[in-house]
Each structure stands twice: as C-alpha cells, then as structure tokens.
C-alpha cells in the first residue's frame, strides 16, 4: 500500500479537524465527574463538535452507535455511551474522539482520573501518556513505524505493564483509518516507512495486567481478559522533515 502524503492545503484542513478533536477532549476534561453517565460525556463531545460545524467521526462508523467511545477501568476501547452507566469515584475513564470537517478527520483519546484514584491507576495513566511521548522521540521523515512501536513497548514494559497487541494506531486523513497500521509493540527499523506529510494516529493502549483482551457481547467494547485496568492516550501527528507536529493538543 502507498503512503498518504498530504498537500499543504490538506494539512491545513487536518489541523482544523484535529484542533476541534483536541478541544472536544478539553471540554470533557473540564466537565467529567463522578455521577455522570457515559451518555452525558458523549453529549459533551457531540455538542462541542457540532458547535464547530463539524461531524463526529465515530457516529455510525461501521455501525458504531455513539459519538465518542467512553471506556471505564478494564474497558480498553470502544465503550458504548449509555444513560444507564454511571461514572464512579476512583474510576479511570478513557474517552476517544474523532471530528470530521472539510473532508478530513482528527482522532485523539485521553484517560481521565475521577476523584480519588488509587496510586497504581494514576501510575498506569501517566505511563500510558508518557508512552506516546516516548514513541515520537526521534521520529521524522525517513523513520519507520517500528521505531515508534519499539519505544512505546519498551517504556510500558519497563514499568511492568503490558501492551495491547490486537489493537493499534493508524494513518488518518480523508478516511478515519488509513495506511499504515501503527502497533504499540515491535522492532526498530521495521514496518512502513514514514514520510514528511503523512498524518498518523499514535495511540498507546496499556494494561496494568496481562495483554490478552476480550470482546463483550455488544460486539464493540473491548476489555482486559484478566479484569485489570487499562489506559489509552492518542494524538494525531504530522510527520515533518525534522520531527513531528502534534495536531490534537
């Protein structure tokens, strides 16, 4: 498959879609609290994205029913928002958001601490975020996807955590999911070559326990097999000649 190299005008459209995506997550961060339902979180995302004359990328994507993915504790990704599911004190809540405007998508995720969270959960969330920033160190035009993957894996495993292997990052642009795949484990110098003008979503998904996962009966929500907490941190980045530009911060 060929790399999707964006033109300067396409990159500007990407910047706009990605800014909306990142700002939607900032709105969630301002408002999320114990007692809210996951549907209330979904509504925050929907209302903000619509206020920007954009669309929610996830709504009806391959049949997904929500505007955002809201995943609690052992739920890794794709938690379906519900008016019956309440967020509780001590939870960690991963919110994954996409915004679509002018023909392009942005994609990002954060894991939020709700109230008095245990120290081990706090560490998991911080390490997962740090995995992203470790992953992009030294990445530039001419690097390989595996250079990201191996750095994410090494950092997560240095804390005794495990990397989810059945889910991965991806290219993003006119389509929500494009070439190349961006795993969170691998070997330096392997995988697709990265070129300036490519936009990819890098998204560490890190488990406190083992790496194995299970799909729930709703055919969307993916949880850790051993019931351990999981965290998720994602940004869309632009590969440049000398590094990366993070578009969703």
pLDDT tens, 214-248?
999 999 999 999 999 999 999 999 999 999 999 99
Distance (Å, whole) CA 160 – CA 119: 15
pLDDT-flagged residues of the chain (< 70): none
Helices (H) and strands (E) in the chain, counts: 4, 15
Quick one: tokens of 197? 């003008």
- For residue 3, being part of any structural domain is answered with no
- For residue 222, being part of any structural domain is answered with yes
End-to-end CA distance of the chain: 29
CA distance to 39, 67, 112, 123, per residue, from 129 (Å): 25, 23, 11, 10
**What pLDDT, on a 0 to 100 scale, did the predictor assign at position 141?**
97
- For residue 189, being part of any structural domain is answered with yes
Torsion of CA 114, 115, 121, 122, to 10 degrees: 100
- For residue 102, being part of any structural domain is answered with yes
Q: Are 178 and 171 in contact (CB under 8 A)?
A: yes
Beta bridge partners of 103: none
Quick one: tokens of 102? 């002018």
Distance (Å, whole) CA 242 – CA 52: 32
Please state the domain count of the chain.
Answer: 1
Contacts of 14 (CB under 8 A, 6+ apart): 6, 104, 106, 173, 199, 236, 238, 247
pTM of the model: 0.96
**What pLDDT, on a 0 to 100 scale, did the predictor assign at position 2?**
76
**What pLDDT, on a 0 to 100 scale, did the predictor assign at position 187?**
97
Given the structure tokens 């992953």, which residue do they identify?
Answer: 135
**What pLDDT, on a 0 to 100 scale, did the predictor assign at position 120?**
98
- For residue 45, being part of any structural domain is answered with yes
Distance (Å, whole) CA 202 – CA 84: 31
**Cβ neighbours of 20 (radius 10 Å):** 23
Whichever domain contains 101, its CATH number is 3.90.230.10
**What pLDDT, on a 0 to 100 scale, did the predictor assign at position 3?**
79
Q: Which of 149, 161, 151, 47 is nearest to 97 (CA)?
A: 47
- For residue 175, being part of any structural domain is answered with yes
What is the domain range of residue 34? 8-246
- For residue 23, being part of any structural domain is answered with yes
Distance (Å, whole) CA 32 – CA 30: 6
Distance (Å, whole) CA 233 – CA 94: 8
Quick one: tokens of 104? 């392009």
- For residue 47, being part of any structural domain is answered with yes
């Amino acid at each position: 498959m060929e790399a999707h190299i964006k033109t300067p005008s396409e990159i500007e459209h990407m910047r706009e879609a990605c800014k909306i995506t990142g700002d939607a997550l900032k709105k969630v961060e301002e408002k999320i609290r114990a007692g809210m339902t996951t549907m209330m979180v979904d509504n925050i995302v929907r209302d903000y994205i619509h206020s920007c004359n954009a669309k929610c990328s996830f709504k009806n994507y391959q049949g997904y029913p929500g505007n955002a993915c809201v995943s609690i504790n052992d739920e890794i990704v794709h938690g379906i928002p519900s008016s019956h599911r309440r967020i509780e004190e001590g939870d960690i809540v991963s919110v994954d958001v996409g915004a679509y405007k002018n023909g392009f998508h942005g994609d990002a995720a954060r894991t939020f601490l709700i109230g008095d969270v245990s120290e081990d959960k706090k560490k998991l969330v911080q390490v997962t975020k740090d995995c992203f920033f470790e992953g992009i160190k030294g990445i530039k035009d001419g690097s390989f996807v595996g250079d990201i993957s191996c750095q994410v894996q090494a950092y997560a495993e240095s804390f005794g955590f495990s990397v989810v292997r059945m889910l991965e990052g991806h290219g993003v642009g006119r389509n929500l999911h494009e070439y190349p795949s961006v795993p969170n484990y691998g070997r330096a110098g392997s995988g697709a070559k990265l070129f300036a003008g490519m936009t990819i979503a890098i998204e560490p998904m890190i488990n406190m326990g083992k790496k194995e996962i299970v799909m729930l009966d709703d055919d969307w929500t993916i949880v850790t097999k051993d019931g351990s907490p999981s965290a998720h941190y994602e940004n869309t980045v632009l590969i440049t000649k000398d590094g990366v530009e993070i578009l969703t911060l």
